[in-house]
Amino acid sequence: MVDHDPVREVTRADVAALAAGCAVFGTGGGGPVHIERLATEAALDEHGPVRLISVAGLTDDDAAIVLSGVGSPSVGVEMLGAKGQPATVVREVERLIGRPVTAVMPAEIGGSNGVSAVRWAAELGLTVLDADGMGRAFPEATMIAMNVAGLVSEFCVLADMIGNVAVLRTVDLAWLERQARAMIVASGSVTLGAHYVMTSRNAPGAVIEGTVGRALRVGRALLAADDPVAALCTALGAGLLITGKVVDVERTATDGFTRGAMTVDGVGTDRGRRLRVELQNENLVALDEGEVVASVPDLIAVVDTETGTAISTEMLRFGQRVSVLAWPCDPLWRTPRGLELAGPAAFGYHLPYVPLAGTGR
């Protein structure tokens, strides 16, 4: 049962489903959604529902800032956001662009940032643009749809928990990644950032549309289902790579990134099969007998077989009963530029990209 009605607003009652959906689109990363869910529910209690607008619904007067919490989620559970942070970013962006900001777009729908966007919009009294820059979660600033589409980010505003504001003008997003990292360390390893400003002119074709509503619908299907994994597959248009149990998890920390792999042995009709998933902060490549069956930028989610709840790479444990799902990414990621930025090679895997069948929308 797939719910295709367009979502026009996000209410308090929707937040649980949105969080569940964002966790699935986090594909193992993106930061934990639980605390963000509580804060977003509290924000909607205080400010009321948040309106969602589509890219097609943007008027010439609209300007959407692309917001994301950046840094380490492990530090982020201690160094939580400050109340005035989104407003500080908006004020600075408005000063830079000389016009009012009217909407918030999540930089990434996957993980905590997809949920936070609703809270930020509620606190700011703005609408949410039903789109994001990834359609999932990715670890680096360069891995964003607007960069694939060739849009230039004129500036980046960073507003930390303390009240410090920085405006960075870097030659490209790779330099932004490096410069912003230094600033983020100085701010305590987590901060709030905004870079692109999306308008009715530059957004079409440069963002991944409908992803907030999609995460909400996927979450609703998951929470309402008797058979959550089947419901997820239907809602996502995903294939089930394996149902089994985790028999091995390897993890090492290198350069501040967690790298490793997880192995699932099939149970039931999958008995006798074995799937290996290469992990960094997200699930990146799935191999069956050494053959790539799915890889970035396509999406791979590991979910609890019984509940369908997404399991982040940090929470994978031996013996968990899991189902591994994969579904196609947005076509933008399958362009040469998209694959250069976020294909297997961008993560250090010398493997061919084998696109999953389907359109990803």
Partner 1 sequence: MSGTGTTANPRPATAARGADVSDIAVGIDVGGTNTDAVALAAGGAVLARTKAVTTPDVIGGIRAALSRVLADLGRDRSAVSRVMLGTTHATNAIARRRDLGRVAVIRLGAPAATAFPPLLGWPADLRETILAGVLLAGGGHLVDGHPIAPLDRDAVRRFLDALHRAGDKTGARGGNAAGGNGSAGDGSGAGGVRSGADAVAVSGIFSPSFPDQEFEVEALVREHLGDLPVSLSHQIGTIGLLDRENATVLNAALHGVARDVTSALATVIAEAGIGATAYFAQNDGTLMAVEQAARFPVLTIGSGPANSIRGAAHLSGAEHAVVVDVGGTTSDFGALAGGGPRESTMPREVGGVGTNFRMPDVLSLGLGGGTVVDPGTGLLTGDSVGYRIAERALLFGGGTPTLTDAAAARGAAIAGRRLPDLDPPLREGLSRALAVAYDRIESAVERMSLGRTGLPLVVVGGAGFLVPDRVSGASEVIRPGHGDVANAVGAAIALAGGRADEICLFTERTAGVERASRTAIEKAIQAGADPARVEVVDVSEIPISYSVHATVRISVKAAGPLAP
Question: Which residues of this chain interact with partner 1, rule CB under 8 A?
Answer: 29, 31, 34-35, 38-39, 41-42, 71-75, 77-85, 119, 123, 139, 161-163, 181, 184-185, 187-189, 245, 247-249, 251-258, 281, 313-315, 317-321
Close Cβ partners of 190 (under 8 Å, ≥ 6 residues apart): 69, 70, 71, 72, 75, 76, 79, 160, 161, 184
| Distances in whole angstroms, Cα of residue 192 to Cα of each of 107, 317, 351 | 11, 31, 34
Dihedral sign, CA of 325, 217, 122, 60?
positive
Q: Residue 18 and residue 20: Cα distance in Å, rounded?
A: 5
Instruction: Compare residues 78 and 289 and give the one whose CB is closer to partner 1.
Output: 78
Taking the complex as a whole, how short is the minimal distance between the CB of residue 291 and partner 1, in angstroms? 25
How near is the Cβ of 132 to partner 1 at its closest, in Å? 18
Instruction: Identify the helix (H) or strand (E) that includes residue 240.
Output: strand 239-254
The CB-of-130 to partner 1 minimum distance in angstroms stands at 23
Q: Which residue number, 49 or 139, has a Cβ lying nearer to partner 1? A: 139
- Kindly state the smallest distance separating residue 119's Cβ from partner 1, in Å: 8
| Closest distance of CB 44 from partner 1, Å | 13
Pick between residue 29 and residue 297 the one whose CB is nearest to partner 1.
29
Cβ–Cβ < 8 Å for 283, 300: yes
CA distance 256 to 253: 6
CB of 318 to partner 1, least distance (A): 4
Closest to partner 1 by CB, 175 vs 234, is 175
Considering the complex, state which of residue 2 and residue 315 has its C-beta at the smaller distance from partner 1. 315
Closest CA relative to residue 225, chosen from 305, 327, 297: 305
Residue type present at position 324: V
CB nearer to partner 1: give 176 or 197.
Answer: 176
